[in-house]
Copies of this chain bind each other. A is one copy, B any other.
Amino acid sequence: MNTKKPTIAIDMDGVLADVESHYIAYYYQEYGVRIPPSALQGKPESEGFPDKTAVRRFLQMPGFFSTVPVMEDAVETVRYLMDHFDVYIVSAAMEFPFSLFEKREWLQQYFPFISWKKIIFCGDKSRIDTDYMIDDHCKNLDFCKGKPILFHASHNIDIDRHQRVHNWQEVRSLLEKEIGIPC
Please give the distance in Å from A123's CB to the nearest CB on chain B. Answer: 3
The answer to whether B145 and A129 touch across the interface, beta carbons within 8 angstroms, is: yes
Write out the residue numbers on chain B whose beta carbons fall within 8 Å of the beta carbon of A101: 97-98, 100-101
The segment from A29-37, A111-119, A172-180 that touches chain B is: A111-119
Interface string of A143-174 (1 = CB under 8 A from B): 00100000000000000000000000000000
Instruction: Name the prevailing secondary structure of the A interface residues.
Output: mixed
Q: Any chain B CB within 8 A of the CB of A120?
A: yes
Identify the A interface with B (CB < 8 A): 7, 9, 88, 90, 94-95, 97-98, 100-101, 104-105, 115-124, 127-130, 145
Closest 6 CB pairs of A and B: A117-B123, A129-B129, A100-B100, A94-B116, A120-B122, A97-B104
Which residue of the partner chain B has the closest CB to A114? Answer: B123
How far is B6's CA from A127's CA once the two chains are assembled, in angstroms? 12
Known contacts A127-B120, A129-B145; decide if A104 and B115 are in contact (CB<8 Å). Answer: no
Write out the residue numbers on chain B whose beta carbons fall within 8 Å of the beta carbon of A127: 7, 9, 88, 90, 120, 128-130
How far is B119's CA from A100's CA once the two chains are assembled, in angstroms? 12
The answer to whether B117 and A124 touch across the interface, beta carbons within 8 angstroms, is: yes
